[in-house]
A and B are shown apart, each in its own frame.
Chain A
């Protein structure tokens, strides 16, 4: 794996569901969470509300959260841009939901599953990579690994753990 803890995050700009081009980093950007997710995966959906709660809780603390769908919608129509827009319109997302139609961002970030969670510190370096918490089926865990990593980054400490095993559906690559 070349995108390791401490490495600079590959830059990107992707459209959200309204077509607004959204960069990874803006001027004055603080820590950023990038979540590769999708519409149909039971693991992504099981963790979804916990991730939106993180977006709501940490947004006021200067943390930006970007959620990205990179799945091939040709073979998996539930992951189409139209389906993404419908979920956003229904109020299911607490932060921008971006479309990686070419899958170049998922490849550059070496994402493998949904959800796959990355925390980037204010210097643009990878501080945490893995799952939101230890059990998709236990809502009480409240994305604790992600929250701990964000608390560490906001305090200027190293995340511990900095890496956990991402668990979920494989990203659906185009053929």
Chain B
């Protein structure tokens, strides 16, 4: 089965283009052209609740959030807060965390996908 990375975003927050660029760069660096990248716009509070969307951008690697939010974080249409590895606040995941999560959560590429 094709591994899927989903980027959920809310258009009221300016963060998702940078997150998408980081994600594409990480997948290229890891040599994973086999991964299907999908973008999903979250447009309502109801949809945010249904998808467990705690802010934009939220990533799902084969359904798993690579940077799980704190327990009890409320869903909603807002910008999501991340931390860089040096402790700084950031609107996007640390690119190094993103690469590590992709390595950890993606299934290994098949022989077929390498060719």
**A residues touching B (Cβ–Cβ < 8 Å)?**
40-43, 45-46, 48, 75-77, 136-137, 139, 167-170, 172
Interface flags, B71-90, vs A, CB<8A=1, else 0: 00010101111100000111
Picked from B12, B76, B88, B91, the residue with its CB within 8 Å of the CB of A43 is B91
CB-CB under 8 A from B80, the residues of chain A are 42
Name which residue of chain A comes closest to B73, CB basis: A78
Enumerate chain B residues within 8 angstroms of A168, measured Cβ to Cβ.
14, 79
Is B74's CB under 8 angstroms from A42's CB? no
Select from chain A the residue with minimum beta-carbon distance to B15.
A42
Main secondary structure of the interface of B (DSSP, over half): loop
A139-B88, A170-B13 given; A43·B79 CB < 8 A: yes
> Closest B-chain residue to A137, C-beta based?
B90
In the complex, what residues of A have CB within 8 A of residue B90's CB? 42, 46, 137
Looking at the complex, which one of A46, A48, A76, A170 makes contact with B91 (CB distance below 8 Å)?
Answer: A46
Nearest residue (CB) in B for A43 is B91
- Residues of chain A within 8 A (CB-CB) of B89 are 42, 45-46, 48
- B14/A76 in contact, CB under 8 A: no
Contact partner of A40 (CB less than 8 A), chosen from B12, B78, B82, B88, is B78
B45 to chain A, nearest CB (A): 8
Q: Is the CB of B14 within 8 A of A167?
A: yes
Residues of B within 8 A of A76 (CB): 76, 78
Q: Please, which residues of chain B bring their CB within 8 A of the CB of A167?
A: 14
A46 touches B79 (CB 8 A): no
